[in-house]
Amino acid sequence: MKHRLNGRLAFAALTVSVLLAAARGALAENWPRFRGPNGAGISDEKGIPVTWSEGDYAWKTKLPGIGHSSPCVWDDHVFVTAAEDNGLKRHLVDISASTGKIRWTWSMESETHKIHKLSSYASATPATDGKRVYVPFSKESEYSLFAFDFKGKPLWKQVIGQFVSQHGSGTSPILFEDLVILANDQDGESSIVAMDAATGEVRWTAKRNEKGLDQTTCYSTPLIVEHAGKTELIFASKADGFTSYDPRTSKLNWRADIIPDRVVGSPLIANDLVIGYSGGGGEGKFMAAIKLGGQGEIADSRVAWKRIRMLPYVPTPVVVGEHIYLWGDKGVVSCVEAKTGKNIWTERVPGQYSGSPVCIDGKLYCVTEPGEVVVIAASLEFKLLGRTPLGEGSHATPAVSNGRMFLRGFEHLMCLEAQRR
């Protein structure tokens, strides 16, 4: 009898341990780059409310300057950039996710340069691999990527070159294996650069715009895709169109040179399709879906569909299941069948938008420029679920990690915790 009881107790203890481990695993969703894991903008987090009030925030922390970068999150570390004095001072800030307390702030003196009226001197979102955090800053004479440890110690700096653009910089870095990769498409000489994450040594450089065409600065952040046993680095810009590289060697796999305008938003993956878009004058003008698996110069040969109306320009869409949700700069939102480009519905959600939507547990969250969080259902029927004011403007994209949503305004970083039942 005693042995049976001990066995039952051991089994019960093991069951509790497994359940606790599962619960911790469910919460352990880091948000390590712009729009989270591989830039998809998707979170399965449960319990994030669709409306709330000022008193519902777990914390609200004053930032040391203005910026439009989104938070990136690893465990209890929330990293965000800011700038003050018209860009003459730049900051990287580490904030405790659980308390909102600023652990440390790294600052540097810089130079001002031209930026778009809707941009900032801290628009690029940091990236982290859990060991180091990486952040780019620009001035006309120098475009650099910095690496820091989690205690705020500078580890290395890699100067990529000059930065020439009337609108400033804003492309965010990504990580792949032991590399940190930064797109450097600008009005001048352009490239994609891969650096050793530990040392900053340049491992490879892929030159862009080698045809010598007029270039316009691209703000797209690349992504990694696995397809047919091959790992591909996908990028999009006006000068080179859709491109696929081997992220380990920079070898060009294929190129579809069909993008007519400036690219601001990032490419998407929907099953075996790469989806990208371009525009100008505050509106999207072109979108195309390219079938993965091409070789060399493919032009239009692998285009699945194109779209020229009701498109975003700055906000990056979200792929949820078999559908793409396009959130336009002026509040025109569409649900589109990813495979065919067929329009399911289009509705207007009042507001002007510079941040991108994210999908949390089947709901889309996007923030207006004046600072109102709009929530709609990611479904085949349009449903407005809530609108909540932040109390200040925002051009940033929400981040979601470990049971919390982080909202970045012009002045504060705010944390909203999931409601557990």
Take residue 138 and report the two structure tokens written for it. Answer: 């620009």
Over the chain, what is the mean pLDDT? 88
Q: What is the pLDDT of residues 214-251, one digit of tens each?
A: 567 778 899 999 999 999 999 998 888 899 999 999 99
Considering the entire predicted model, what is its pTM? 0.90
Distances from the Cα of 342 to the Cα of 289, 324, 339, 402, angstroms: 12, 10, 8, 35
Domains of the chain: 29-417 (2.130.10.10)
Take residue 126 and report the two structure tokens written for it. Answer: 């940091």
DSSP state of 66: B
- Does residue 79 contact residue 69 with C-beta atoms inside 8 Å? no
Looking up tokens 């939102």 gives 333
72: left (phi over 0), alpha (psi -120 to 50) or beta: beta
- Run of H or E including 358: strand 358-360
Q: What is the pLDDT of residues 338-397, one digit of tens each?
A: 999 999 999 999 999 999 999 999 999 999 999 999 999 999 999 999 999 999 999 999
End-to-end CA distance of the chain: 38
- Run of H or E including 268: strand 268-270
- Does residue 222 contact residue 233 with C-beta atoms inside 8 Å? yes
- Run of H or E including 2: helix 2-27
Q: What is the pLDDT of residues 312-330, one digit of tens each?
A: 999 999 999 999 999 999 9
pLDDT given at position 162: 72
Q: Please tell me the distance from the alpha carbon of residue 95 to that of residue 80, in angstroms, as a whole number.
A: 8
Q: What is the pLDDT of residues 2-60, one digit of tens each?
A: 444 344 434 333 333 333 333 333 334 899 999 999 999 999 999 999 999 999 999 99
Q: Please tell me the distance from the alpha carbon of residue 385 to that of residue 240, in angstroms, as a whole number.
A: 40
Q: Please tell me the distance from the alpha carbon of residue 344 to that of residue 360, in angstroms, as a whole number.
A: 21
Q: What is the pLDDT of residues 90-113, one digit of tens each?
A: 899 999 999 999 999 999 876 676
Burial of 276 (0-12, 13-18, 19+ CB in 10 A): buried
Beta strand spans in 177-220 (E) = 179-184, 190-196, 202-208
- Beta-carbon contacts of 252 under 8 Å, excluding residues fewer than 6 positions away, are 206, 243, 244, 245
